Structure 1
């Protein structure tokens, strides 16, 4: 069994022009940094989000993507995809961010604890920067989207730190399930888990719940 670990810690390298985007620039250009990096409630020290309407905040403080999924895309696209190219803060191995249960917690290194919150929804900026035709559609259909996490305990992390699951909610709904197959049944499971105090859902979920239920005629 492979030990789960952080392969790279990434933060914004430079703001890139994005004239057709909502704010004219994008902070998706993340690259690995050396040594210990502090993790605050709003994410990796020195990282930024150009548009905080759809990115960032405590519920999306850190974005994790797996090396396995990066390798899949590297094969599909026939190009190297180094850590940070997906806009991720953490490139990880031995653990599947997309397959994580919503609300599960990871301890990284000595003191940082993160909580899985929600899937990453690809945007047009992601497609423009990566330069792959139909990228939003392809990325979404593959379902290898990674996960956002909130910071439960601050501290410092480094490449090479081990990742340990400290809590996995019993409800069992994964980031992948919610992203690819949202349904009234999953809505009810997550609402029950929240009511029981097992998880704390970000507000965006309740808006999405309403949409899922309306589409189902409920």
Structure 2
């Protein structure tokens, strides 16, 4: 398990965001490093955990509980085959492109040691947005498997339930391409990144079960699950 690339983005203008300045940092490019990684601060004030990486829309992105975004190269390869075009590392806006890591099977609260110093904790699933769809150039309708009419990118990505993971910084450090990724702690519950994503999107009846992950969850997901469980208590 290791990093194939470390990716950062700079602000650029986009027609696909409702952010006031009309800019986004979703286009990430690999850098050699080392790249310093640290907790950026609370949501709304803190951006990315990676030095040199821009988060432009602080309403929905960035902050301590979305400090680092990881996506597996294996999943990018699957989408390459689906879309019929190359998807370089960083194409999905990920900071870390991994290989050999089961990113979507990671448990909420699972901790990864990346390189010698950095310690990250899995805490959230990436929810796709229209900026992601537009910047990827998948605004139209895609054919579904079996020849049936397809859905737009956001719907297709959602149905795949392989969103990649947001991580918070537990111990800061510097990372570079090729650094090993080691799982140092794995909780004893069922709430994987994929399970959480399904609960937050198409299978909301699963929301009460994500409470098993407790305070390791992104605070917004924790609050939503508690609200849903209260409303649907028998």
Cα-Cα RMSD: 2.0
User: What TM-score results when the alignment is normalised by the length of structure 2?
Assistant: 0.83
Correspondence for 1:206: 222
Q: 1:183 to 1:169 in 2, by over 3 A?
A: farther
Please, which of 187, 192, 204 is the counterpart of residue 174 of structure 1?
192
Tell me if 1:8 matches 2:5: yes
Q: Secondary structure at the match of 2:197?
A: helix
Q: Which has the larger share of strand?
A: 1
Tell me if 1:187 matches 2:203: no
Instruction: Tell me if the contact between 1:30 and 1:89 (Cα under 8 Å) persists in the aligned partners.
Output: yes
The runs of 5 or more residues in structure 1 that have no matched partner are: none
Please report how far the alpha carbon of residue 137 of structure 1 lies from its aligned counterpart in structure 2 after TM superposition.
Answer: 0.6
Deviates more, 1:204-213 or 1:76-85: 204-213
Q: How many residues are aligned here?
A: 210
Alignment of 1:1-218 (within 5 A): 4-18=1-15, 20-23=17-20, 24-42=22-40, 43-132=49-138, 133=140, 134-181=152-199, 182=203, 187-188=208-209, 190-194=210-214, 199-210=215-226, 212-213=228-229, 216=232
Please report how far the alpha carbon of residue 216 of structure 1 lies from its aligned counterpart in structure 2 after TM superposition.
Answer: 4.5
The runs of 5 or more residues in structure 2 that have no matched partner are: 41-48, 141-151
Q: 1:217 to 1:124 in 2, by over 3 A?
A: farther
2-side partners of 1:31 and 1:185: how far apart?
A: 36
1-side partners of 2:120 and 2:133: how far apart?
A: 28
1-side partners of 2:90 and 2:10: how far apart?
A: 10
Q: 1:20 to 1:34 in 2, by over 3 A?
A: closer
Q: 1:76 to 1:8 in 2, by over 3 A?
A: same
1-side partners of 2:217 and 2:33: how far apart?
A: 32
User: What TM-score results when the alignment is normalised by the length of structure 1?
Assistant: 0.89
Instruction: Tell me if the contact between 1:111 and 1:155 (Cα under 8 Å) persists in the aligned partners.
Output: yes
Please report how far the alpha carbon of residue 22 of structure 1 lies from its aligned counterpart in structure 2 after TM superposition.
Answer: 2.6
